[in-house]
Amino acid sequence: MDTLQVADPARVGVTELRDGRRTAWAEWGPADGRPVLFCPGAGWGRRLGFGGTATAELGVRLISVERPGSGESTGMPGRTLLDWADDIGQLGFTDPAVVGFSQGAPFALALAARGLTSAVAIVSGGDELAHPGTVLPDDVRRSVDLVAADPAGAERDFAQFGSAETLWRLSVEGGSEVDRAFYRQPDFAAAFRRALVSGFAQGPAGYARDTVLHFARWPFRVEDLTARVHLWYGGRDANPTHSPDHGATLAARIPNATRHYLPDSGAALLWTHAGEILRQLLAQSPGVPA
């Protein structure tokens, strides 16, 4: 298990896109390292990374990008998962590796669907909940059905529900005992809460749109992905929106997928097993510095 290390970004910035919108990002590791794009969890700002000293040891340039409407990234009403991929395509990376955590998973897979990456790691990732083969708890099924029947109404509901404090409470109180103990470590708790506060700096609209996109049918078939995909799930991950079967069905649907199931771990695999996740990912990625 990796030692917990929560480091401030080495670099932060904002890139203007062709349509004038701004995309905000933060980086860790060497500026000339192998690029690893990070699609963070629900409602996060850009300043919570992972990997600790492993980024320097492995020569990783980790880049966390705030999605539209989150943090300092300009909102984009009505956007899709593939719109997000098109935004990332403007940042100038050549076949970067990609990591998607929790609700960042469909955004990471959208980059693969657009052919922008050949290596993806999904960590405690949000499954395609609306796929017919996915068996869901009743409360999650109700949200999926609402998004299908009335996506605009669902988005309004998610906006009323979402806040930094609500997501912090869900992460801690809704997590397993192993995750609660991890998230409550003082240094991590402070960094996590800061990431949520910055993520909601513009209000809940970005989070609400992200959640609709996660709960809806995705605009690409994971069966058609050609990227190598590593799926990481812990058996003690209690979040019902991650994956009801810890990625087993999703792994079977993706042609080049490898599922890593750690029965005694929780959702916090991104930090507890960061070095292992990055090493496996880099072994599959030919990415070069941008």
* pLDDT tens-place string over residues 241-272: 998 899 999 999 999 999 999 999 999 999 99
Whose CA is closest to 230, among 192, 265, 269, 264?
269
Residue 285 has pLDDT above 90, yes or no: no
Taking only the tens place, the pLDDT of each residue in 173-183 is 889 999 999 99
Residue scoring higher pLDDT (136 or 285): 136
User: What superfamily in CATH does domain 11-282 come from?
Assistant: Alpha/Beta hydrolase fold, catalytic domain (3.40.50.1820)
Please compute the mean of the pLDDT values over residues 265-282 and round it to a whole number. Answer: 96
Q: What is the pLDDT of residue 3?
A: 46
